[in-house]
């Protein structure tokens, strides 16, 4: 189920945003694709059709569209980093307190079944996964 141009237009206006050619150009680039693009990559593609549009506008447009819930953000390897001494030597994941950064490790991620099912359904060969749980630790619950 695809969002029509009208729906998008309405959404923008509803929130007091204007419908500019620049925003259409960005939407045009991302709306027909099934892959994820960085701001710079979007800029490159937008530039091909509309050489006048600046990278700043791409950033601003993406922010607006994301705010309206029209976009998903994807985390990419190497994009962000914060470090932690590795404690379990085996495969594990982190439960992270958004308040203080405290981390609890857990080893039972139970994604095998999901991976297998999706592999069967999509033909993807599964390699890896990123899983992080966020919450507030007992300490930070008191504070907040």
The dihedrals phi and psi of 36, each to the nearest 5 degrees, come to -105, 145
21 binds, among DNA, Zn ion, its own copies, none (CB under 5 to 8 A by kind): DNA
User: Coil, strand or helix: which one is 63?
Assistant: helix
- Rounded Cα distance, 144 and 142, in Å: 6
Positions that interact with Zn ion (CB under 5 A)? 97, 99-100, 102, 109, 137, 140
Nearer to its own copies, 6 or 134 (CB): 134
- Rounded Cα distance, 21 and 28, in Å: 10
Least Cβ distance, residue 33 to Zn ion (angstroms): 13
118 binds, among Zn ion, its own copies, DNA, none (CB under 5 to 8 A by kind): its own copies
Nearer to DNA, 40 or 133 (CB): 40
57 binds, among its own copies, DNA, Zn ion, none (CB under 5 to 8 A by kind): DNA
- Exposed (0-12), middle (13-18) or buried (19+): which is 23, by Cβ within 10 Å? buried
């Amino acid at each position: 189920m695809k969002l029509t141009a009208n729906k998008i237009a309405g959404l923008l206006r509803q929130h007091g945003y204007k419908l500019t050619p620049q925003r259409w150009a960005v939407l045009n680039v991302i709306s027909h694709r099934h892959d994820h693009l960085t701001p710079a990559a979007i800029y490159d593609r937008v530039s091909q059709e509309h050489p006048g549009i600046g990278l700043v506008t791409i950033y601003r447009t993406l922010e607006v569209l994301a705010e309206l819930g029209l976009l998903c953000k994807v985390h990419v390897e190497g994009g962000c980093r914060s470090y932690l001494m590795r404690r379990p030597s085996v495969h594990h994941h982190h439960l992270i307190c958004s308040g203080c950064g405290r981390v609890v490790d857990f080893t039972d991620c139970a994604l095998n079944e999901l991976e297998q099912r999706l592999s069967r359904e999509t033909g993807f060969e599964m390699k890896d996964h990123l899983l992080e749980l966020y919450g507030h630790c007992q300490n930070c619950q008191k504070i907040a």
